[in-house]
Structure 1
Amino acid sequence: MQRTTLKAWFLVHKWTSLVCTVFLLLLCLTGLPLVFGEEIAHLDEPEVAAAPADAVPRDLDAQVRTALAQYPGDVPLFVGWDPDAPTVYVNTGARPDTPPQQMHTALLHAVSGEVLPAAQFNQGVMYFLYRLHTDLFLGLPGMSFMGAMGLLFAAAIVSGLVLYGPFMRRQRFGTLRTGRSRRLAWLDLHNVLGVVTLGWALVVGVTGAINTIAKPLEQAWQSEQLGEFAARYAGKPRPTTLAPLQAAVATARHAAPGMRPAFVSFPGTGYSGDHHYGVFMQGNTPLTERLYRPVLIDAQTGALTAQPQLPGYMSVLLLSQPLHFGDYGKLPLKILWALLDLLTIAVLVTGLYLWFKRGSTEARVSELERAAQTEAAP
């Protein structure tokens, strides 16, 4: 590699790394417990015995009435099912467009309707870590900033691989030159750990950047596809008397055989317009359970309106969200994600050490040239 090219790649790697390192340390540290977020959440949930196979689930409309009794004055927003326990959750709020941070959650036994202890959206350490990880408590601007840091991280990974490539051709993989200087040993450790975590870090960085634009993508989908159906109801007020929810879900099940309902959005929440229930169906495999298929049910008549297909960008978003936290292979994959997260923290720490012990740019480039020219030990 020519010296000018090597210097250019070195500068790209140096500055992209420096700009994003502190924030990446924050993301790695907060992301570590979030990988096990589902398992941690279950620790605070009550033990619910599995329902008999022939048990008849309680009527969903009765479940909603029970939830609203817990929060007088609220309106129903979402109803969903836990695939791993016989429970139903109902989200309520003061108005149909209540943001998640202000929603209330009621957790009910799917058969008996017993009210169970439920964690709320805006409480607890995990909520604090999640907001810190996703948007720094700044909303969309903070989320966009974190997305930019993710893209800089991807650039740092690619430029680091380019710089390490010539060295790898001359040295055995995993070489640590401990007999010469401490800084050189740290450089080798930084390079080796970087290569080991390269694929994972690139996947997590890119999916994280994609997830930061989730809100704009959802809004685009709502305006494009849901707006088409909402236009048919132009000028009509939002219905005040709704068709039975139980019947609406049954209609959606019939319209999407082989799938199960994941959650239902009520009119006005933004997920199904002002005149529809949105029954979001999911498959039964680790992949298809992430690709929701919405079924729109007229909230006043209970009739099937449409089954709009999710656009490609929404499918990419839905697949990237669980991939970011290793949520495809259950606990074994999450443990692997956690180990790689720890290794990435080591990469960032060694990179900071190398920067504090830095020399001039010319000296660093010369060092890279010498490293690339050193013959492998026999």
Structure 2
Amino acid sequence: MKAATLRAWSWVHKWSSLVSTVFLLLLCITGLPLIFHEEIEHAFEPAPQATGEFVAGTQAGEAPSLDSVVAHALQQARGGHVNFVLIQREESLVQVGTSPSRQPSPDESRTHLYDLHTGAVLQAPSAGDDGFMDVMLRLHTDLYMGLGGTLFLGFMGLLVAVAVVSGVLLYAPFMSKLPFGTVRHDHARRTRWLDMHNLLGIGTVVWLTVVSLTGTINTLEVPLGHLWRNNDLAAMRQRHAGAPPAQAFASLHQVLAAARETAPKSQVDSIIFPGMKISGPRHHLVILRGDKPATRQLVQVMLVDAESGRVSDHASMPWYVQALSMSQPLHFGDYGGIPLKVLWAVLTLTSIAVLGSGLYLWLTKPSKARIKSRAPIDDIRSGDLRP
């Protein structure tokens, strides 16, 4: 590699690393508990409490029908409108949203909670101040700065990927001269730290690249959601714009049966009722996910005629929404249960060690070496450079 090329890669690696290091440390520290967010929440956060009431018509040992759950929610709300039904299979919960009007204020909306398998009516824990996991999530996703903070962290994720790739291109040709895993204990302290830094860095290079890129994709959730609603979903609704508003609704049993027949390898995740802005006046908007762990993030949407219970339109999510859906669990190691989460945690701790050693090597670098134009090239060739 030519000296000019080495200088260029050295400059790219140095500044992409320095600019992103503090934020990557923050993301690693806050991301560590988020890897186990489900386990932590189940262990320490209060669970919904049973009220002792059950959905009418539920037989002992039988799961209630969604129609009976919705009827109970409307009874509790003393009429009004159903806005959505959300099925949370992993938590064994059903949420039903109701309001007195189709365009309610936030104070008018009400959420009813039920056990998916027993029909027990549940009372959600009262919302309090942000707990530990809420603080970790906000710091990890937007730094309490809203969308601007989210997009800023996405840019930091890109810088991390640049730092990783440039580090590999910069050091791989020279580290190949040493046996893999070599730590030169008989050399100076900085050389030992450099060897440890490079060894740990090689162990995390693929993971850190994947996590930084999936994290960057995740920061685009709000813009991509707006893009999907304003383009793909709007076009789907527009194809049925002339249909009159629904007057009498078919049963949700019919809606679910039609959805499963159209997408047999999927499970219904949520149903948005007619009258909502996202669904239109005539149709249920049904959102489905794959019924296997490997296909869970593959999302499809349907417009189901609320009166007839038949599917009017059906489409898979566009590629950019699918990429977003698949990147979210991959970012936190949610695909493989506890073993993958433990691996993610170990790699996170290793990355913290890489970042800490990199900062140490930069801070302890002799000041003269920082300003000599030949220093980066000489240090690389001698195996003693780390910005």
Give me the TM-score of the superposition, normalised by structure 1. 0.84
2:382 to 370, 373, 376: 370
Q: Which residue of 1 aligns with 2:29?
A: 29
Moved more, 78-87 or 36-45: 78-87
Distance 1:355 1:65, change over 3 A: farther
Distance 1:347 1:120, change over 3 A: farther
Q: How far apart, CA to CA, are the structure 2 residues paired with 1:199 and 1:98?
A: 47
AA of the residue aligned to 2:26? L
Distance 1:19 1:94, change over 3 A: farther
The alpha carbon displacement at 1:305 in A equals 1.3
Give the unaligned 5+ runs of structure 1: 373-378
Does the aligned pair in 1 maintain the 2:85–2:95 contact within 8 Å?
yes
The alpha carbon displacement at 1:321 in A equals 1.2
Q: How far apart, CA to CA, are the structure 2 residues paired with 1:113 and 1:46?
A: 13
Secondary structure of 2:286 counterpart:
strand
Q: How far apart, CA to CA, are the structure 1 residues paired with 2:304 and 2:199?
A: 55
Q: Which residue of 1 aligns with 2:255?
A: 248
1:82 to 85, 88, 93: 88
Distance 1:369 1:67, change over 3 A: farther
Q: How far apart, CA to CA, are the structure 1 residues paired with 2:208 and 2:105?
A: 32
Q: Which residue of 1 aligns with 2:283?
A: 276
> Structure 1 residue 9 and structure 2 residue 9: aligned?
yes
Does the aligned pair in 1 maintain the 2:48–2:125 contact within 8 Å?
no
Alignment of 1:46-195 (within 5 A): 55-67=61-73, 76-84=82-90, 86-91=92-97, 106-118=112-124, 123-195=130-202
AA of the residue aligned to 1:334? K
2:235 to 220, 228, 232: 228
The alpha carbon displacement at 1:154 in A equals 0.2
The alpha carbon displacement at 1:29 in A equals 0.9
The alpha carbon displacement at 1:357 in A equals 1.5
Distance 1:306 1:166, change over 3 A: same
AA of the residue aligned to 2:193? W
The alpha carbon displacement at 1:165 in A equals 0.8
- The number of residue pairs the alignment matches comes to 369
Q: Which residue of 1 aligns with 2:54?
A: none
AA of the residue aligned to 2:96? V
Query: Residue deviations 1:101-128, cap 9 Å, x none?
Result: x986543112442233546888532222
The alpha carbon displacement at 1:253 in A equals 2.1
Query: Residue deviations 1:80-116, cap 9 Å, x none?
Result: 333345432335679878999x986543112442233
AA of the residue aligned to 1:88? V
Q: How far apart, CA to CA, are the structure 2 residues paired with 1:349 and 1:268?
A: 54
The alpha carbon displacement at 1:361 in A equals 4.7
Does the aligned pair in 1 maintain the 2:82–2:98 contact within 8 Å?
yes
Does the aligned pair in 2 maintain the 1:282–1:288 contact within 8 Å?
yes
Distance 1:129 1:120, change over 3 A: farther
Query: Residue deviations 1:147-180, cap 9 Å, x none?
Result: 1000000000011111221222211112222333
Does the aligned pair in 2 maintain the 1:89–1:106 contact within 8 Å?
yes
Q: How far apart, CA to CA, are the structure 2 residues paired with 1:171 and 1:147?
A: 35
Distance 1:196 1:238, change over 3 A: farther
The alpha carbon displacement at 1:307 in A equals 0.8
Does the aligned pair in 2 maintain the 1:259–1:282 contact within 8 Å?
yes
The alpha carbon displacement at 1:216 in A equals 1.8
AA of the residue aligned to 1:276? H
CA RMSD of aligned residues (A): 3.4
Q: How far apart, CA to CA, are the structure 1 residues paired with 2:103 and 2:174?
A: 56
Q: How far apart, CA to CA, are the structure 2 residues paired with 1:364 and 1:77?
A: 62
Q: How far apart, CA to CA, are the structure 2 residues paired with 1:136 and 1:242?
A: 44
2:362 to 355, 362, 372: 355
Moved more, 312-321 or 197-206: 312-321
Does the aligned pair in 1 maintain the 2:49–2:122 contact within 8 Å?
no
Distance 1:246 1:137, change over 3 A: farther
Give me the TM-score of the superposition, normalised by structure 2. 0.83
Does the aligned pair in 2 maintain the 1:105–1:119 contact within 8 Å?
no
Does the aligned pair in 2 maintain the 1:327–1:334 contact within 8 Å?
yes
Distance 1:338 1:252, change over 3 A: same
Moved more, 347-356 or 226-235: 226-235
